[in-house]
């Protein structure tokens, strides 16, 4: 076993390697926490802006800003990277699901507290686990089925079903989180597709869908709001970059659970910017959902399967 010598002090290479690995892991966790913070800021800006501007206008302008950032990467990689993909039909289907999911998110946060909407979206990995036997042919054992059922109970606790709580914004939240789950299932089936194509097509499709509605709902933004509208796309892309850096520096099993800190930021920003006080039922339901989601994730890790939350798929607008 080799070692490095210097000034009469010897240290074995594995020790240095271990220290480097520990440092990389800490940096990976830091990148994931930063990514989640960026997503939370993006969601908060979206909630702020949707009070004045239509969902379609938000989708269009955030896509324009994101495309400006992506353009140099596309030029460097070449346009063929976007079209030479294994399953183009499924890729476009995923882009449609992503656009509809983001639209549902912005529509929901216009009427519901930010933490409530994020809680519903946190249940998406549970839906993925439930759908994977039907859509991906995966086997789900009794332990994960139990976790799935407990997760659904968490959704019911958070929702507090009644005539007063079963409003259409709440139903849109549930529907949007299911769209997010279907998007993740499609992402699992698109393994091998370039990251650039996976990002570009949702940006393009959501921009087109938003532009189609703009003539009926355009509101000229103030200079400050125009900057925020542009930041929606830029901040989300930056967050995805930090997620990728995190996964490059540390194991997914180490950093993925930190995605659930998004709920902490949602509660904090909802209170700071919108005077939203979280309901007790929502907090209890969120805790149940997070516990179930983490169990499913670590169970899949133990079985050597791809996690229920694919890299970069964080519940966020």
Q: What is the DSSP annotation of the chain?
A: --EEEETTEEEEHHHHHHHHHHHHHHHHHHHHHHHHHHHHHHHHHHHHHHTTS-HHHHHHHHHHHHHHHHHHHHHHH-THHHH--S-HHHHHHHHHHHHHHHHHHHHHHTTS-HHHHHHHHHTHHHHHHHHHHHHT-----HHHHHHHHHHHHHHHHHH--STTT--HHHHHHHHHHHHHHHHHHHHHHTTTS-HHHHHHHHHHHHHHHHHHHHHHH--PPPHHHHHHHHHHHHHHHHHHHHHHHHHHHS-HHHHGGGGGGHHHHHHHHHHHHH-PPPPHHHHHHHHHHHHHHHHHHHHHHHTTPPPSS-TT--S--
Q: Is residue 1 part of a domain?
A: no
SS3 state of residue 88: helix
Pairwise CA distance, residues 19 & 296, whole Å: 30
Q: Is residue 49 part of a domain?
A: yes
Q: Is residue 265 part of a domain?
A: yes
- Mean model confidence pLDDT for the chain: 82
Average pLDDT over residues 21-41: 86
Q: Residue 316 has what pLDDT?
A: 57
Q: Is residue 16 part of a domain?
A: no
Q: Is residue 8 part of a domain?
A: no
- 221 has pLDDT over 70: yes
Q: Is residue 7 part of a domain?
A: no
Q: Is residue 312 part of a domain?
A: no
- 311 has pLDDT over 60: no
- 313 has pLDDT over 90: no
- 79 has pLDDT over 60: yes
Average pLDDT over residues 170-184: 88
Q: Residue 100 has what pLDDT?
A: 94
Q: Could you count the other beta carbons within 10 Å of the beta carbon of residue 239?
A: 22
Full residue range of the structural domain in which residue 216 is found: 24-302
Confidence of residue 293 (pLDDT cuts 50, 70, 90): confident
Indicate the number of domains in the chain. Answer: 1
Q: How much of the chain, in percent, has pLDDT values that exceed 70?
A: 86
Q: Residue 9 has what pLDDT?
A: 38
Longest C-alpha distance within the chain, in Å? 77
Q: Residue 247 has what pLDDT?
A: 74
Confidence of residue 304 (pLDDT cuts 50, 70, 90): low
Average pLDDT over residues 291-311: 68
Q: Residue 312 has what pLDDT?
A: 46
Q: Are 246 and 35 in contact (CB under 8 A)?
A: yes
- 164 has pLDDT over 80: no
Q: Is residue 308 part of a domain?
A: no
- 1 has pLDDT over 80: no
Lowest mean pLDDT of 27-41, 116-130, 245-259, 297-311, name the range. Answer: 297-311
Q: Residue 238 has what pLDDT?
A: 85
In the DSSP assignment, the letter for residue 275 is -
- 12 has pLDDT over 50: no
Lowest mean pLDDT of 30-34, 196-200, 301-305, name the range. Answer: 301-305
Beta strands in the chain (DSSP E): 3-6, 9-12
- Which residues, in sequence order, are bridge partners of residue 9? 6
């Amino acid at each position: 076993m080799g070692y490095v010598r210097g000034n009469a002090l010897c240290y074995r290479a594995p020790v240095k390697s271990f220290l480097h690995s520990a440092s990389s892991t800490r940096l990976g966790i830091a990148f994931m926490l930063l990514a989640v913070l960026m997503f939370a800021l993006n969601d908060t800006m979206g909630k702020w802006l949707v009070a004045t501007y239509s969902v379609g206008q938000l989708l269009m302008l955030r896509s324009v800003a994101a495309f400006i950032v992506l353009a140099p990467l596309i030029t460097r990689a070449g346009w063929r990277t976007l079209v030479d993909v294994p399953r183009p039909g499924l890729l476009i289907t995923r882009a449609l699901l992503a656009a509809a999911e983001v639209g549902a998110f912005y529509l929901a946060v216009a009427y519901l507290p930010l933490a409530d909407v994020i809680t519903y979206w946190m249940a998406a990995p549970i839906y993925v686990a439930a759908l994977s036997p039907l859509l991906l042919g995966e086997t789900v054992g009794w332990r994960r089925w139990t976790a799935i059922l407990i997760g659904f109970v968490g959704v019911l606790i958070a929702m507090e079903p009644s005539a007063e709580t079963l409003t259409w914004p709440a139903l849109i939240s549930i529907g949007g989180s299911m769209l997010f789950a279907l998007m993740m299932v499609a992402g699992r089936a698109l393994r091998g597709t370039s990251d650039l194509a996976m990002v570009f097509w949702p940006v393009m499709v959501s921009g087109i869908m938003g532009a189609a509605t703009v003539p009926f709902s355009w509101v000229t933004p103030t200079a400050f709001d125009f900057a925020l509208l542009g930041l929606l796309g830029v901040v989300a892309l930056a967050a995805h970059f930090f997620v990728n850096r995190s996964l490059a520096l540390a194991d997914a099993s180490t950093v993925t659970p930190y995605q659930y800190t998004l709920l902490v930021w949602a509660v904090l920003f909802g209170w700071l910017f919108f005077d939203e006080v979280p309901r007790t039922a929502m907090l209890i339901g969120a805790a149940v959902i997070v516990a179930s989601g983490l169990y499913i994730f670590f169970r899949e890790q133990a079985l050597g399967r791809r996690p229920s939350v694919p890299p970069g798929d964080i519940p966020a607008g």
